[in-house]
Structure 1
Amino acid sequence: MAALLLLLLSAGALLFPANAQEAYSRLPDNYRKGVDLALEKLNSHVGIQHHFLFFKSLMMSDIQPGFDVIYIYHHFYLKATKCPKGTVDSNQCQFRNDRPLIDCGVCYKTFAGEIEQDPKPYIHCVHKPALTEDMKTARVDHCNSMGYSSGAPTLLASRGTK
């Protein structure tokens, strides 16, 4: 009986962490694009030695003023894996539990599902232990000031000529 229980627990342990990308694959496409931007920026740092993957979302919000435009804010964690930086196929990468999480906040504008370069996408990522309340406030303030005004002129406010 104990051997059967041990076998079941072992099988469950193998299935649970088998795919670190599962949380990422459940994200809506518009939010995945922001995670990809953050990972690209993180991987450009020389000091980063491990491959990082999306771990979990803390907050997701969007404003949809119309005309296929969406303003997105996403607060999430990235977590180091056992794979080295530059790993192309991360399907076999397992999360490490001996490294701090990376806390990221990103905001950007999409049009027709693609990230717009104006306003410039904002990406702020820092190791979680180093994140201060001032940094959190500055991050949110920056995203709120990026020109995401719902009162901006729209096509409905324009005047046609006769």
Structure 2
Amino acid sequence: MAAALLLLICAGALLYSAEAQDPYTQLSNIYRKGVDLALEQLNSHVGVHHHFRFLKTLDKSEIESGFGVKYLYHHFYLKPTRCSKHTTETDPQRCPFRNDRPLMDCAVCYKAAGDQIETNPKPYIHCIQKPRLTEEMRTTRTEHCKKMSYTSGAPTLLAVSTG
């Protein structure tokens, strides 16, 4: 009986520590909002049948423009899960990953004031299956994000890396 109770406590502690290490929860609030924008866009596509979850950051940068305004760039992977996107009772952050589908390579850049994403300029979101990402697409992403920060007179967004 005591051994079973100890096993149960250990299993609970392991689950709790695994949840505490979730990379999504380790992101700052404003970067999580950018990931959420990408997830929202991805889930709006008819051809996407399963939820995706944040897997890891590849690169991120942030430019302070003054008066609490920042320009953010975040390059990350999303991984498909086993949960159907039409299942409403499931928290996507608890869905188990599936390993039979490619990762989604995403880049987002946006302007934020305080802890809110600004609608002007419109946030840029680009996600594509990792194997389909071309060098030309990478260049297009980079150039778009550079233009976003240049049009406001801010230094280049991709010049300062925080990741």
Q: What letter corresponds to residue 135 of structure 2 in structure 1?
A: E
Secondary structure (helix, strand or coil) at the match of 1:145 reads helix
- Mapping for residues 9-20 of structure 1, pairs under 5 Å: 15=15, 19=19
Contact residue 52 and residue 92 of structure 2 kept, 8 A: no
Q: Structure 1: any 5+ residue segments left out of the alignment? A: 1-6, 152-162
Q: Structure 2: any 5+ residue segments left out of the alignment? A: 1-6, 156-163
Task: Quickly say closer, same or farther: Cα 1:89–1:102, change in 2 above 3 A.
Answer: same
Residue 144 (structure 1) aligned with residue 125 (structure 2): no
Identity %: 59
Q: Which deviations, in whole Å up to 9, do the C-alpha atoms of 1:102-159 show, x marking residues without a partner?
A: 00000000012111111000000000000000000000000101124227xxxxxxxx
How many residues matched?
140
Partner residue in 1 for 2:137: 135
Secondary structure (helix, strand or coil) at the match of 1:30 reads helix
TM-score, scaled to structure 2: 0.78
Would you identify which runs of 4 or more consecutive aligned residues in structure 1 move more than 6 Å? none
In structure 2, distance between residues paired with 1:40 and 1:149: 29
Partner residue in 1 for 2:121: 119
Partner residue in 2 for 1:154: none
TM-score, scaled to structure 1: 0.79
Contact residue 38 and residue 123 of structure 1 kept, 8 A: yes
Greater C-alpha Rg: 1
Q: Which structure carries more helix by proportion?
A: 2
In structure 2, distance between residues paired with 1:35 and 1:136: 18
In structure 2, distance between residues paired with 1:129 and 1:34: 22
Q: What letter corresponds to residue 82 of structure 2 in structure 1?
A: K
Shift of 1:21: 8.1
